[in-house]
Amino acid sequence: MWTILTMHSISRPRVEDAETIFELVSVYDTAVLGAPDMTLEDVQDELVEPDFDLDADGWLAYDAGGLLDASAWACSNGDSDLVDVEVIVRPGVEGLAEKLWPMVLGRARELGAERGHDAVTLHVGIYRADEAKQALAGELGFEPGTGFHRMRIDHDGPVPPPAPPAGLTLRTGESEETRRAAHRVHQEGFAEHFGFVPIGYDLWYARRQAQSSTDWSRLTLAELDGRPAGVLIANNQFVPDQDCGYVATLAVLPEFRGRGLGRFLLRHAFAADAAQGRKGTILHVDSNNTTPALGLYESAGMRQVMVIDVWRRRL
């Protein structure tokens, strides 16, 4: 532990700090959004992310009384030059963000160098409602990249299963063979999307296996005429706080688009969530998606409930 300001000291995060970090994040979220937007399980999952090194990639800032006033981190994405960064400061605490951001940027440079890159691309997600943080990001040299819309549909009762496209076969993700096929569809289906970083199967699997919300039976691989064509990965990430299912991934290979498969998989998720008694289904969609995904979700009855902007900087 070392001193950063007269009244604050810094330590590295540990898995057992999850509840303390959750309290800080909840206070910040409530100030910006009116309610927490993360659960304790979400924080715990972030701390065991395979790409996150607890001994080098994060910092916690405590005041003289032992209250956590800030959390900061930089996290690599496999061997790519993309580094996700974040600094969260307790509302009303002055000066910490300006002290922590240089540490985060410095670690981001190190992560890039360790992976053989002479420059890195930084991404930070900022709620559109947080105008002060967006202004600070601009001062730090970040620029708006894209916006991720959180979409939601409510379920008042059972949702009828959708009619399947001709030649459709569905497989769930309990077997490694199906998971590997799903990984290939995911990588190819998202190849042109904003911020996409191709990763191998082992890291892809490890990331999902580390998440407490992962249920491989909620992975659905769609085959058309015996060929992998689309994938849906759903989970219960939003069940603890909103009693909603979550569509974490929905991808259709380019050659199979336009045949109603994306709409089928979406309605398939709705029906599964409603059958489990969930109040609704949530997903995130890039407003600059190379496919007309936003229009698909809106036409299926989903509505926007939040926007998280991704700001980026080349360092």
pLDDT for 192: 86
> What is the residue extent of each domain of the chain?
2-141, 151-309
Query: What is the number of other CB atoms lying within 10 angstroms of the CB of residue 206?
Result: 14
Give yes or no for residue 253 having a pLDDT over 80.
yes
pTM over 0.85: yes
**Alpha-carbon distance 201 to 195, whole Å?**
18
Rg (CA), the chain: 20
Least confident of 88-102, 127-141, 204-218, 285-299: 285-299
**Alpha-carbon distance 267 to 248, whole Å?**
14
pLDDT for 291: 63
Who has greater pLDDT, 192 or 247? 247
Domain 2-141 belongs to what topology?
Aminopeptidase (3.40.630)
Superfamily covering domain 151-309: Gcn5-related N-acetyltransferase (GNAT) (3.40.630.30)
pLDDT tens-digit readout, 119-154: 999 999 999 999 999 999 999 999 999 999 999 999
**Alpha-carbon distance 297 to 223, whole Å?**
22
> Does residue 72 come out as left (phi exceeding 0), alpha (psi in the -120 to 50 range) or beta?
beta
42 burial level (CB within 10 Å; 0-12, 13-18, 19+):
buried
Position 289 confidence tier, pLDDT thresholds 50, 70, 90: low
* Buried/exposed code over 168-185 (b: 16+ C-beta within 10 A; e: otherwise): beebebeeeebbebbbbb
Same CATH fold, 151-309 and 2-141?
A: yes
First to last CA, the chain: 28
